[in-house]
């Protein structure tokens, strides 16, 4: 199958290319990126898409995905834990919603059901249901009851041997990344973010076992000690890190070639804006969100200036922060962290592709054809990516998930 996309402007994952281009896609990959004047003969293509001067860019990567956190822009759940049958319906819906909004890849930050994301990832790969390519996770692993809300489990108990059994279980189940909740969470249990929920020995065991099993580790870590433990375990990605001190920031920079950072501001901004009914008290959540955003507004630019790979992804899936709003993180990076629109796009595409360890996130010859055709120029106004109707085309693996009107077969 050969598809020619012609007369487009290109954001290639790092920068905007000057002029107009045509892109040839063959067998799921980008075969050529050439100036429009040198475009291949359209008669040689099975499908021709007229870009009409719109912007072609890579599909986006959600680096902090919670597909089993049920709420989406299509259906809001006012309870966090769902019955198994409804949880599956919500997860499958959320995968499709993310793809509808231009996210062609997703890295899971933990699930609310054991084995559900492995099943979902297999269904997506088999073409049985639409969704982004997914690095699946299992239940978020945290010491039992430590956060006051049962979002996770300890599986095999405490201690290094229990951790090793947990990692072996993940490997057997087909998990790609295990999620370790190393810090507490003020939004769920006020004052707990500075609690460290694992011992040094447990985290060292997790890191060694995961490396031997070929698995990645994602970590929820707020304060310096939790960040230290995450780095000792060789975490693939650290979420939040809001209270990092100078030493913790230095340690993150020392690991910047192997560890990614996602501050996850989407949930903080959404919490600050939320207007819950009188019987729902979000005051402690709002206080925590305001404090985190103030700290991250200094931390994120400082780490970015030192070369940290910082990714979008903001704990979407709460009723006040539903799946489908994920592209809002790009505007938050611009408004609160001092990013240019192109830098925010880079965080959502090329850097996200590096997290996935796949040839995605770039418009480049030889890379997987995960592509968006955008009505407008997101390098000037990144907010347009929050409107899925501005996505004239969504392509994943060279297949048209959403086709524009200007298609000739």
Backbone φ and ψ of 102, nearest 5°:
90, 10
CATH class of 60-326: alpha beta
pTM of the predicted model, to two decimals? Answer: 0.95
Residue 210 structure tokens: 């995961």
Among residues 185, 181, 149, 343, the alpha carbon closest in space to that of 268 is found at: 185
What tens digit of pLDDT does each residue of 303-357 get? Answer: 999 999 999 998 999 999 999 999 999 999 999 999 999 999 999 999 999 999 9
**Res 409: pLDDT:** 52
Residue 219 structure tokens: 């970590």
- Class of residue 149 by CB neighbours under 10 A (exposed 0-12, middle 13-18, buried 19+): middle
The domain spans of the chain are: 2-58+361-408, 60-326
d(CA 147, CA 280): 19
Beta carbons of 314 and 329 less than 8 angstroms apart: yes
CATH class of 2-58+361-408: mainly beta
Beta carbons of 367 and 380 less than 8 angstroms apart: no
Beta carbons of 361 and 58 less than 8 angstroms apart: yes
For the residues 32-45, what does the mean pLDDT come to? 85
- Class of residue 221 by CB neighbours under 10 A (exposed 0-12, middle 13-18, buried 19+): buried
**Look-up: residue for tokens 């707990």?**
192
H/E run at residue 342: helix 341-348
What tens digit of pLDDT does each residue of 115-128 get? Answer: 999 999 999 999 99
d(CA 6, CA 3): 10
| 145 pLDDT higher than 60 | no
Neighbours of 140 (CB within 10 A): 21
**Res 194: pLDDT:** 87
């Amino acid at each position: 199958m050969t598809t020619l996309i012609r007369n487009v402007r290109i954001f290639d994952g790092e920068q905007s290319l000057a002029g107009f281009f045509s892109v040839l896609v063959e067998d799921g990959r980008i075969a050529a990126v050439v100036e429009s004047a040198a475009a291949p003969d359209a008669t040689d293509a099975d499908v021709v898409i007229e870009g009409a001067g719109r912007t072609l860019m890579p599909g986006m990567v959600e680096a902090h995905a919670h597909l089993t956190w049920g709420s989406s822009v299509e259906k809001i759940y006012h309870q966090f834990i769902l019955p198994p049958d409804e949880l599956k319906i919500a997860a499958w819906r959320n995968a499709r919603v993310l793809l509808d909004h231009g996210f062609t890849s997703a890295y899971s930050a933990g699930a609310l059901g054991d084995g559900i994301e492995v099943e979902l990832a297999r269904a997506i790969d088999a073409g049985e249901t639409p969704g982004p390519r997914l690095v699946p996770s299992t239940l978020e692993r945290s010491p039992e009851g430590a956060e006051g809300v049962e979002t996770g489990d300890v599986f095999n108990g405490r201690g290094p041997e229990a951790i090793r059994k947990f990692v072996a279980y993940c490997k057997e189940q087909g998990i790609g990344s295990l999620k370790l909740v190393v810090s507490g969470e003020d939004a769920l249990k006020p004052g707990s973010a500075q609690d460290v929920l694992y011992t040094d020995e447990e985290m060292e065991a997790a890191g060694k076992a995961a490396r031997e099993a070929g698995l990645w580790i994602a970590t929820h870590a707020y304060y310096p000690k939790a960040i230290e433990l995450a780095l000792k375990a060789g975490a693939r990605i650290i979420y939040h890190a809001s209270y990092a001190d100078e030493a913790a920031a230095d340690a993150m920079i020392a690991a910047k070639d192997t560890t990614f950072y996602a501050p996850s501001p989407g949930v903080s901004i959404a919490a600050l804006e939320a207007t819950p009914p009188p019987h729902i008290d979000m005051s402690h959540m709002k206080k925590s969100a305001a404090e985190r955003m103030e700290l991250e507004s200094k931390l994120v630019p400082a780490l970015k200036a030192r070369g940290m790979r910082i990714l979008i992804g903001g704990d979407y899936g709460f009723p006040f922060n539903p799946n489908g709003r994920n592209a809002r993180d790009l505007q938050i990076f611009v408004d609160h962290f001092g990013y240019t629109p192109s830098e925010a796009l880079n965080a959502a595409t090329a850097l996200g592709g590096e997290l996935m360890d796949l040839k995605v996130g770039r418009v480049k010859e030889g890379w997987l054809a995960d592509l968006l055709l955008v009505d407008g120029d997101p390098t000037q106004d990144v907010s347009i990516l929050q409107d899925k109707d501005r996505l004239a085309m969504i392509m994943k693996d060279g297949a048209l998930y959403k086709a524009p009107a200007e298609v000739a077969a």
